[in-house]
Amino acid sequence: MSSNQKSLLFQYDGKPSLKEIIPLGLQHVVAMIVGCVTPALIISGVADLTPADKILLVQASLFFAGIATLIQIFPIGKRIGSRLPVIMGVSFAYVPTLVAIAGEFNMATVFGAQIIGGLVAILFGLFLKKLLVFFPPLVTGTVIFSIGLSLYSVAIKYIAGGVGSATFGSPKNWAVALLTLGVVLFVNYFTKGSLKLASILIGIIVGYIVSIFLGMVSFDAVASAGLVQIPKPLHFGIQFNATAIISMVIMYIVNSVQAIGDLSATTGGGMDRVPTDEELAGGVIGNGFSSIIGALFGCMPTATYSQNVGIVTVNKVINKWVFAFASFVVILAGVVPKFASLLTTIPQCVLGGATISVFATITMTGVKMIASNNLTMRNSAVVGIAVALGVGIVQVPDAFALFPSWFISIFGKSSIVVTTIVAIALNLILPKDKEIVLSSAKGDSKSV
């Protein structure tokens, strides 16, 4: 690579050669593609979709992840999009809420709630400065920690073979899942470079190959899938339900705060600066806009991808054409049903073994955010009580047995809703810790 090409890659508006763009763009595709389609595979199982609808859900996830990324890179007007080097994809953070809505209602209700959630994200972006006071790192970390905890049962159900499977809980499912997890851990901690970044993908490939030899894979759906198909508008329908909307709105607000963290990490790690207010607001508004459009075509909620932020902070490559190329690859994959159908043949135990490490990472991200604050008695109470109520209520299905059905749907199905509300309330109500100033003999002072 010439020094000129190298400098162009480190400029957002530079025009490096295609031979430099392709490998760097594919690196981002490898890092995001598994995470992008796995939520669709999980939710399609919960919603009991047909094989054809399952393929459509995966296609839409890929196609509109690419569209959402392009909106961030090439903003619409001055407001919609951040104009920062980020990759968007369907977010695992929404999975617990999506599972609750899809399990109790249907996919149409999911997408109706998503449209309202997207509108709320747009409003959040417009009033960003005023709303951030409600979401300091202590509150956001508590919510993310709760999201990670709520995903563990999803992973274990998949490791066991998937609820409803005739082989649920079989030693074969556990063996394949643990093999997949072992490969992910080995590649992630004992290799470097591109291999390390693709650890989850490699783990799934190994687990998939083993499961084929064990007779756990059927290719019937691949044989019947077409070659080219554009995601269908309103195929799953749109329905609005107040309880589903409330749960989704809370998740969109939490995700908007998390997006601010990802955008800040991108500019700090890749561009050596803090993001402007316009970039942060544009990023949140762009995601809300993308979610509304995606909902009309069957794509579930998108978010900034932290693993791709990690790539930017490591290699410092921020050129927009690298991210545009990655977007086009993902969009192309989204219009090929053969590819989408192949992904739907991955056994659930393989997905569970690969994604439990992702869920663990989400949990620990929350822990790190919580730990960034002093764990005083007050802060410990905010975190502990919020998580205790959120997780505890969900673990006792009949805790709200005599409450109205709408109340149960909002507060009894997802720990995240209760955790978020309690964490915000306690953080506002409990008296702040007093700052103590210590003076040294030299005359300087510091706060503790």
pLDDT at 400: 86
pLDDT tens digits, residue range 194-249? 677 667 778 888 998 999 998 888 777 777 767 777 888 898 999 999 889 998 99
pLDDT at 439 over 80: no
pLDDT at 396: 86
- How does DSSP assign 28-92, residue by residue? HHHHHHHHHHHHHHHHHHHTT--HHHHHHHHHHHHHHHHHHHHHHHS-BTTTB---SS--EEE-G
Location of structure tokens 């749907």: 409
Mean pLDDT score of the chain = 84
Higher pLDDT, 140 or 436: 140
pLDDT at 37 over 90: no
pLDDT tens digits, residue range 56-102? 998 899 999 999 999 999 999 888 988 999 889 998 788 888 988 99
pLDDT at 70: 95
pLDDT at 388: 93
**Contact present, 414 and 100 (Cβ < 8 Å):** yes
pLDDT at 441 over 60: no
pLDDT at 381: 93
List Cα–Cα distances, 157 to 87, 103, 165, 355, 356, in angstroms.
Answer: 29, 15, 10, 12, 11
Strands 437-439 and 445-447: antiparallel
- How does DSSP assign 351-405, residue by residue? HHHHHHHHHHHHHHHHHHHHHTS---HHHHHHHHHHHHHHHHHHHSTTTTTTS-H
pLDDT tens digits, residue range 47-58? 888 888 888 998
Could you tell me which of 2, 29, 1 has the C-alpha nearest to residue 339? 29
Q: Please state, for a pLDDT cut of 90, what percent of the chain lies above it.
A: 28
Task: Let me know the angle formed at the C-alpha of 397 by 394 and 400, rounded to the nearest 5 degrees.
Answer: 90
pLDDT tens digits, residue range 311-325? 777 677 888 999 999
- The mean pLDDT of 415-439, rounded to a whole number, is 80
Q: Is 316 left (phi over 0), alpha (psi -120 to 50) or beta?
A: left
pLDDT at 444: 55
